[in-house]
Amino acid sequence: MAASTTTGDFKVIGTRPIRPDGVDKVTGRAKFGADYAFPGMLHGKVLRSPHAHAIIKSIKIDKALKLPGVKAIVTSKDLPQAENKLEQSGELTVNPRHLSMNILAHDKVLYDGHAIAAVAATSPHIAEEALRLIEVEYEVLPPVMTVDAAMRPGAPILLKDLRNNEEGDKPTNVAQHFQFKRGDVAAGFKAADYVIEREFNTAMVHQGYIEPHNAVGIYNSDGQATIYCSTQGAFDVRSLSAHVLGMPVGKIKVVPAEIGGGFGGKTTIYLEPLSVLLSKKTGAPVKLVMSRSEVLRASGPTPGSKIKVKMGATSDGKLVAAEIWMAYEAGAFPGSPVAAGALCIIAPYTVENFQIDAYDVVVNRPKTNAYRAPGTTQAAFASETVIDELAEKCGIDPIDFRINNGVKEGSPQIMGPPFKRIGFIQTCEAIKNSPHYKSKLTGKFRGRGVASGFWFNAGMQSSAMVNIHTDGTASVVTGSPDIGGSRASMAMIAAEVLGMPMTDVRPITADTDSIGHTDVTAGSRVTFATGMAVYEAAKDAVRQLIERAAKVWEKKPDEVEFRDGMLHAKGNGVPPMSIKQLAPRFPRTGGPITGRASVNPRGVGPGFATTVVDVEVDPDTGKVQVLRCTIAQDAGKAIHPSYVEGQMQGGTAQGIGWALNEEYFYDDKGTLRNSSFLDYRIPTCLDLPMIETIIVEEANPGHPLGVRGVGEVSIVPPVAAVANAIYRAVGVRMTQTPMSPPRLLKAILKHRGAAQHSAAAD
Amino acid sequence: MHAIDYEAPTTLAQAVSILKAHGENARPFCGGTDIIVQLRAGVRRTEHLVDVKKIKELQTLFFDAKQGLRLGAAVPCIEISESDVMRRYYPGLTEAAHLIGSLQIQNRASVGGNLCNGSPAADTTPALIALGARARVVGPNGEREVPVEAFVVSPGRTVLKPGELLVELLVPAPAPHSSDAYLRFIPRNEMDIAVVGVGASLTLDGDKVKAARIALGAVAATPILAAKAADAIIGKKLDDAALEAAGHAASDACSPIDDMRGTAEFRLHIAAVLTRRVLSIAAERAKKN
Ligand SMILES: Cc1cc2nc3c(=O)[nH]c(=O)nc-3n(C[C@H](O)[C@H](O)[C@H](O)COP(=O)(O)OP(=O)(O)OC[C@H]3O[C@@H](n4cnc5c(N)ncnc54)[C@H](O)[C@@H]3O)c2cc1C
């Protein structure tokens, strides 16, 4: 079922061909980062802090260096002083000094798992044994684990140089305060018939990609380095590594490997500079691969948060005011996505009066990184639960309530300017009309919840080349690592423009020396921005094909037309020519044909999704089973509908995991106690129903094919939808994630106690 | 991980002599689904692994209606859940074996390994205790039998001394009108370690409970036999009040901790809930026997 405003007579776009990278993946031939091996290669391991917060008094490496097979050890002493400034890298703002301090702790360790030293040895086992022989002397400090603890007056300070925009020269754990407001909040609440105010807490969670971080570094004596790694952005790895290593960008080449998931977590660097440093010291290629436990302890999860939401509505169901306070755990260094969360928290609705205060707070946890619609799932859990409560107070169906208040073309965005064409209301209507929402949910302790979500989506820079081969087939070269089936979409877009079958187009992701700069695969931007570059590059190739045909026919280019993969001479009876027929004539008409394009598109189309979930709660154990789930999402135009559906399902599955069981569980010393997939519980197949999808296609006017990004917004609604469903099932409003059995059971028992108490009082 | 020697003796005598020769530096190795994980994670260290899978006595699965069951320590869980005899006479132990990990894990994991690993949360251990199973151990000083409830002494430690080996588990034959059941609570639907596990076996006499044993896992430092919980139903009809009383007594027998798998408070509550549920299942089964 797809409500489509994207017209156009497509032959390839909108079909569901097999992915070009499929065979390599199912046969095991695909080369992931950890699969790379080179002659003479050494293996590296990283020594990590057992403490959450401590001063490093000394590091002694002599014993470890003496272990036979150990070739080199690096510590922060081997890193150049990186600049303390803010710089844009892809969609992240990066402080090179902090980045360097995260790669190897300088004078302090700031979280359990913080890297301290790296060893290169002839085998991974020897490297691991060597770690035991490195002696580190610590002065342990009290850990600061929550935003409350970090913001408390007199809290231990993590970073002595950190200052914020409000407190002058005072050391602080609050890196930044953002504020967004409009209208008159007090007047808004005065006009409200119902006001709901709630406080929410969400746990830090991890993206849970299956493939651990990895890197192979090769440093040559001519000062050039090559890094092979699994990353969402080879160009970002290059520029970030250049910062940390003090090397010019042009001296580093990054080769992106196949990637086993990222979801935002592979947009920064951890092992990459270490592999280069160790290679420089030893003269050999050095490979490092994290264990699962290292991934959980020391890569970049998404923040836990504390969010207070107060919202008011009139009795006829109009939202009139919102007052929001939110603080996110940035981890050990500033840079949580709290501002994004603030801009998204009520973005699907027109609220005339609001004030949002958002705080970026450092705590003794790993430095957080992007995770699918960064910062927004936490936020939507809070706002969408309060909206559900308001809808209930007003006696209005929760979907109708959203439709009544929902943004459409022309509605002001949080920052002011109006939305262009968007599909929020359409996602609500798609759910309202879905077989799922129309079905009746029966049975005890069962409930149905809905929630919606917004995400900006990103544009940013992309380059593409379309090469026409000598046999008239083509290749598409981009710099976007394929994390969600984008190679298929790139091939399909090129095939559509070139009028070829998709199987005649081979898509590849090139290294940083082989294609123009391309920003990170993130922000749902690849099919939108890189897709636009591919579209333009294919058009460029078509222009050249027309010129060549014109030469062959001794006509002017404007006397030649390109239609359905064929070149036609206007007017007289010259038979049309296919690209395959023209290709052998390239050498004598000007040489090979390469279509090229580089873009930095501005017409980003925001994404919206609405999700409905049915759950059943075991009231004696607090365990929740998700019975059915449907998501409607606006894709603008689904290039490859199966991969759009895959994104919708994947984000929903992750959102359900976030809702029910996922959490970073630290003990009171700040040690992570569940750094394995046994105890960090992502949902298994048995925990999820088949997730039903409805693609809405409300064309993005800012893209030649109408594309919007689709990779992220699906994760935004599920946590709130599950909470709302639980409320309908057992009558308790959950305000904390995960809504795990112990926590839900406690709430149910409290609710039952209160009910009995009030029954007894009656 | 450091290098480890591996040996695979084919007789009990060989196994005991190898284990004895290396003392504290050797460990038996069966399916490896605990020991290999622990060695790789560095939580245990050993120099020698002695594979016990090739020893005949450890691979027996033999049932006799009078003598009961002899279950070799190395029999893989999959063989238990695929055995008609096991499903018929020991459905509780069978479902516990069937819960371990996944199909892949069950192909390797053994009930002996589950017990000897000494985890308070091992799924098959409460099921064995509920059935009144005994462990037959062989070592340099001969043979001994240990009731399963006395086998684990603290998390990760058992009564086994260096050189000793678990050979088999001896489970009494089920009495008429009896059966068993095992339930565990996990937050997901698979691939988890029990937050609470409860095994029960009972014998009915008309509509009254004649005999019963209730055992719990993951609620104390070792799997425990909750004798008072069984006392609460013996001689009684298994009605709501009796179930409630058994649940309370089971909960009272627990001394759980707070950890990443659940709070102590939660475990106490779930121990009672599962005790009620598992007794009802066992009683339903017993009625048919
Ligand atoms: C993915 C996964 C999921 C799991 N899920 C569960 C689960 O749901 N429930 C559960 O209870 N467990 C689970 N486990 C743990 C494990 O699978 C079980 O404990 C299993 O029964 C161990 O049996 P094994 O034969 O593999 O033991 P091994 O690992 O070979 O041995 C375990 C221990 O017992 C000792 N040992 C083995 N045999 C003997 C013997 N004959 N005599 C003396 N000592 C001996 C070994 O030295 C070792 O210390 C899981 C493990 C994994 C990896």
* Rounded CA separation B113/B75 (Å): 10
C-alpha pair distances (Å), A412 with each of A359, A371, A407, A706: 24, 27, 8, 22
**Residue B28 beta carbon below 6 angstroms from any ligand 1 atom:** yes
Cis-peptide into A738, omega within 30 deg: yes
Nearest to A273 by CA among A215, A213, A332, A211: A215
Which amino acids of A are annotated catalytic? 712
**In this complex, is the C-beta atom of B43 within 8 Å of any C-beta atom belonging to chain A?**
no
A276's CB contacts (< 8 A; 6+ apart) are A217, A219, A225, A227, A241, A245, A252
Residue of A716, A704, A713, A720 whose CA lies nearest to A644: A713
Q: A688 touching B, CB under 8 A?
A: no
Q: Is A668 on the interface with B (CB under 8 A)?
A: no
Please state the rounded mean pLDDT for residues B6-30.
96
Residue among A293, A621, A625 minimizing CB distance to B270: A621
Domain extent for B64: 5-119+134-171
**Is B189's CB within 8 Å of A687's CB?**
yes
Strands (E), chain B: 5-7, 26-29, 48-51, 61-64, 68-72, 134-139, 142-147, 152-154, 157-158, 165-171, 178-185, 196-205, 208-217, 224-225
pLDDT at A2: 42
| ipTM score | 0.95
B37 and B138 in a single domain? The answer is: yes
Q: Is there a domain that residue B187 lies in?
A: yes
Q: b or e along A725-755 (b: 16 or more beta carbons within 10 Å of the residue's beta carbon)?
A: bbbbbbbbbbbbbbbbbbbbbbbbbeeeeee
| B130 within ligand 1 shell (Cβ under 6 A) | no
Regions of chain A with pLDDT less than 50: 1-3
A757 touches chain B (CB under 8 A): no
The answer, yes or no, to whether residue B41 has pLDDT greater than 90, is no
Tokens encoding B189: 């639907």
In this predicted structure, what is the pLDDT of residue B101? 92
Atom of ligand 1 nearest to the CA of B46: 47
Q: Which two tokens stand for residue B157?
A: 């430690």
How many domains does the structure of chain B reveal? 2
Q: What pTM was computed for the model? A: 0.96
Burial of A444 (0-12, 13-18, 19+ CB in 10 A): exposed
Q: Measuring from atom 41 of ligand 1, which residue has the nearest CA?
A: B166
What does the longest C-alpha to C-alpha distance in chain B come to?
A: 60
Q: Which of A428, A528, A530 is nearest to A476 (CA)?
A: A530
Co-location of B21 and B108 in the same domain: yes
Residues B187, B112: one domain?
no
Query: Does residue B13 fall inside a structural domain?
Result: yes
Mutate to test the pocket of ligand 1, among B25, B44, B105 (most ligand atoms within 8 A of CB): B105
**Does 3.30.365.10 match the CATH number of domain A421-452+606-762?**
yes
Please give the Cα distance from B238 to B253 (Å, whole number). 20
Q: Do A746 and B259 touch (CB under 8 A)?
A: no
- B2 pLDDT tier (thresholds 50, 70, 90): confident
CA distance A105 to chain B (A): 24
Helix orientation angle between A376-394 and A398-405, rounded to the nearest 10 degrees:
110
DSSP A451: E
Between residues A91 and B37, which one has the greater pLDDT? B37
What is the model's pLDDT at position A6? 53
Cα separation, A115 vs A278, in Å, equals 15
Q: Which residue of A has its CA nearest to B277?
A: A620
Give the CATH number of the domain where residue B271 resides: 3.30.390.50
The pair of structure tokens assigned to A151 is 């913001």
The predicted pLDDT at position A571 comes to 80
* B271, B158: one domain: no
The β-bridge partners of A569 are A560
CATH of A462-599, one of 3.60.15.10, 3.30.365.10, 3.30.70.20, 3.30.450.20: 3.30.365.10
Q: Is residue B147 located within the same domain as residue B32?
A: yes
pLDDT of residue A266: 97
pLDDT per residue over B53-77, tens digit each? 999 999 999 999 999 999 999 999 9
Partner residues linked to B179 by β-bridges: B202
Q: Is B185 on the interface with A (CB under 8 A)?
A: yes
**Residues with Cβ within 8 Å of residue B10, at least 6 apart in sequence:** B54, B55, B56
Element (H, E) at A127: helix A124-133
| B39 lies in the same domain as B167 | yes
With a CB cutoff of 8 Å and minimum separation 6, the contacts of B24 are: B162
How many CB atoms neighbour CB B134 within 10 A?
20
pLDDT of residue A88: 79
Q: Which residues of B touch A620 (CB under 8 A)?
A: 273
CB B139 less than 6 A from any atom of ligand 1? no
Atom index in ligand 1 nearest the CA of residue A678 equals 1
Domain-wise residue ranges, chain A: 421-452+606-762, 462-599
Size of interface A-B (CB pairs under 8 A): 55
Q: Which atom of ligand 1 is nearest to the CA of B192?
A: 8
Q: What was the pLDDT predicted at A3?
A: 43
Residue of A nearest to B192 (CA): A678
The answer to whether position B128 is within a domain reads no
Alpha-carbon span A216 to A120, nearest angstrom: 12
From CA B225, how far away is CA B253, in angstroms rounded? 8
Residues B155 and B228 in one domain: no
* Cα B179 from Cα B93, distance rounded (Å): 10
Q: Is residue B222 part of a domain?
A: yes
Residue B79 beta carbon below 6 angstroms from any ligand 1 atom: no
Q: CB burial class (10 A; 0-12, 13-18, 19+) of residue A325? A: middle
Burial of A553 (0-12, 13-18, 19+ CB in 10 A): middle
The confidence score (pLDDT) of residue A9 equals 85
CA distance B222 to B152: 6
Query: Is A123 in CB contact (< 8 Å) with chain B?
Result: no
- Smallest CA–CA separation between B15 and chain A, in Å? 29
**Residue nearest ligand 1's atom 13 by CA:** B100
Determine, yes or no, domain membership for B17: yes
Residue A724, classified by CB atoms within 10 Å of its CB into exposed (0-12), middle (13-18) or buried (19+), is buried
> Does B160 share its domain with B221?
no
- Measured between CB atoms, which of B189, B261, B266 is closest to A686? B189
DSSP secondary structure string, A189-228? HHH-SEEEEEEEEE--B----SSPPEEEEEE-TTS-EEEE
Task: Determine the pLDDT at residue A1.
Answer: 38
Domain presence at residue B129 = no
The predicted model gives B146-174 an average pLDDT of 97
- Return the ∠ at Cα A674 (arms to A647 and A97), rounded to 5°: 75
Specify the CATH number for the domain of residue B94: 3.30.465.10
Place of tokens 């017409």: A603
Report the residue of chain A nearest B101, measured CA to CA: A678
Indicate the SS3 state at residue B88.
helix
**Quick check: helix, strand or coil at residue A118?**
strand
Cβ(B110) – ligand 1 distance below 6 Å: yes
Average pLDDT over residues B78-91: 97
Asked whether residue B271 is domain-assigned, the answer is yes
**Alpha-carbon gap, residue A753 to A724, rounded angstroms:** 21
E strand or H helix at A569? strand A566-569
The response to whether residue B256 sits with its C-beta less than 6 Å from ligand 1 reads no
* Ligand 1 in reach of B250 Cβ (< 6 A): no
Pocket test of ligand 1: the residue of B6, B34, B115, B160 to mutate, having most ligand atoms within 8 Å of its CB, is: B34
The answer as to whether B126 is a domain residue is no
Q: What are phi and psi of B153, to 5 degrees?
A: -105, -30
Q: What is the pLDDT of residue B191?
A: 87
Provide the 10 A C-beta neighbour count for residue A430: 23
Percent of chain B with pLDDT strictly greater than 90: 96
Query: What's the residue count for chain B?
Result: 289
